[in-house]
């Protein structure tokens, strides 16, 4: 899979009207140049709107190769499905994606450019964060108990690492292949730390200690209800440390009562 940055609209003709908070939902993306674009089925495209916002607002997957189709100034057409699609003004500023490449200048010279792996990870993690809705309290109801302010301590986790790994597995459980589909084209899965974080397990927050799972299998692993092995995974595209698997099977799975007590 290759990842691209694709220009949508122009500074003179933005894809949405001022104040640029509309959505772009076209499932056919056009290319003006005569040469066939290098994008292929399965590639991912970050869509960038230069007009009014200069923001990357969507991540789409190519579900076809480019087809010759002259519509207006476009010579080629590509069919896509949206993995993330935000209002344009809710996207991420293009200059926040790369620390050593001027993407605005690069994309002006071509309608689409290929992104480096670190640029993909940066754009994806920031776009995912922007699609998470802000949580608000429900209106207060009568007879609710009083509240007391408390301070809690929690382990900081690498959200960008998890987001990238979920994308790699297309939000599918590595154990059963299930992908939970949500409204508006979103999907849901969870990341399980094979050797749990924090005392007394002291697992690491790194890719080799993670497996992408559905909520059901996450609970079963958390409570030691099932063993784990690389042979039991229906898909595995990243290195998993066997020592973490052994720890799960000997400490979490073989002692489920102890594991539950430690997690409560």
User: How many angstroms separate the Cα of 167 from the Cα of each of 1, 59, 134?
Assistant: 12, 11, 22
Q: Whose CA is closest to 121, among 91, 160, 94, 84? A: 160
Residues 51 and 120 in one domain: yes
For the chain, the domain total comes to: 2
Strands, E assignment, 141-234: 180-181, 187-188, 190-193, 210-213
From 131, 151, 176, the end of a domain falls on 131
Residues 166 and 104 in one domain: no
Look at residue 70 and give its three-state secondary structure. Answer: strand
**pLDDT value, residue 91:** 86
**pLDDT value, residue 264:** 40
Q: Which domain holds residue 126?
A: 3-131
Give the burial string for 94-121 (b: 16+ CB within 10 Å, else e). Answer: beebbeeeebeeebeeebbbebeeebbb
Residues 53 and 92 in one domain: yes
d(CA 201, CA 100): 39
The CATH number for 18's domain is 3.10.590.10
- Tens of pLDDT, residue by residue over 180-193, are 988 767 788 999 99
In a domain, 92, yes or no: yes
The radius of gyration of the chain from alpha carbons, rounded to an integer in Å, stands at 22
**pLDDT value, residue 111:** 81
**pLDDT value, residue 15:** 64
In a domain, 57, yes or no: yes
**pLDDT value, residue 104:** 81
User: How many angstroms separate the Cα of 134 from the Cα of each of 2, 87, 137?
Assistant: 31, 15, 10
Residues 117 and 234 in one domain: no
Which pairs from 174-177 meet CB under 8 Å and 24+ separation?
Answer: 174/211, 174/212, 174/213, 174/233, 174/234, 174/235, 174/236, 175/211, 175/213, 175/214, 175/217, 175/232, 175/233, 175/234, 176/214, 176/216, 176/217, 176/234, 177/234, 177/235
Query: Using alpha carbons only, what angle is made at residue 239 by residues 221 and 45, rounded to the nearest 5 degrees?
Result: 100
The pTM assigned to this predicted structure is 0.51
- Ranges of residues in the chain whose predicted pLDDT is under 50: 19, 133-140, 151-153, 156, 256-264
Residues 167 and 55 in one domain: no
d(CA 245, CA 176): 17
Residues 17 and 64 in one domain: yes
In a domain, 77, yes or no: yes
Beta-strand relationship, 180-181 and 187-188: antiparallel
């Amino acid at each position: 899979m290759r990842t691209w940055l694709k220009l949508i609209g122009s500074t003179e003709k933005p894809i949405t009207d001022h104040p640029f908070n509309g959505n772009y939902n076209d499932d056919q993306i056009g290319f003006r140049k005569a040469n066939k674009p290098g994008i292929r089925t399965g590639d991912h495209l970050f869509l960038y709107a230069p007009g009014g916002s200069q923001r990357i607002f969507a991540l789409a997957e190519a579900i076809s190769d480019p087809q010759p189709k002259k519509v207006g100034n476009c010579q080629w057409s590509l069919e896509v499905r949206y993995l993330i699609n935000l209002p344009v003004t809710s996207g991420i500023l293009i200059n926040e994606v790369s620390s050593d490449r001027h993407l605005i200048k690069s994309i002006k010279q071509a309608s689409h450019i290929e992104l480096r792996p670190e640029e993909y990870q940066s754009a994806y993690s920031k776009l995912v964060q922007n699609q998470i809705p802000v949580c608000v309290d429900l209106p207060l109801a009568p007879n609710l108990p009083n509240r007391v302010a408390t301070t809690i301590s929690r382990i900081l986790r690498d959200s960008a690492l998890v987001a990238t790994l979920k994308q790699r597995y297309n939000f599918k459980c590595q154990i059963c292949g299930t992908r939970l589909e949500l409204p508006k084209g979103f999907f849901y899965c969870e990341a399980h730390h094979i050797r749990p974080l924090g005392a007394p397990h002291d697992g690491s927050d790194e890719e080799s200690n993670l497996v992408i799972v559905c909520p059901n299998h996450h609970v079963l692993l958390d409570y030691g209800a099932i063993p784990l092995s690389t042979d039991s995974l229906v898909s595995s595209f990243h290195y998993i440390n066997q020592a973490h698997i052994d720890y799960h099977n000997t400490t979490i799975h073989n002692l489920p009562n102890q594991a539950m007590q430690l997690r409560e």
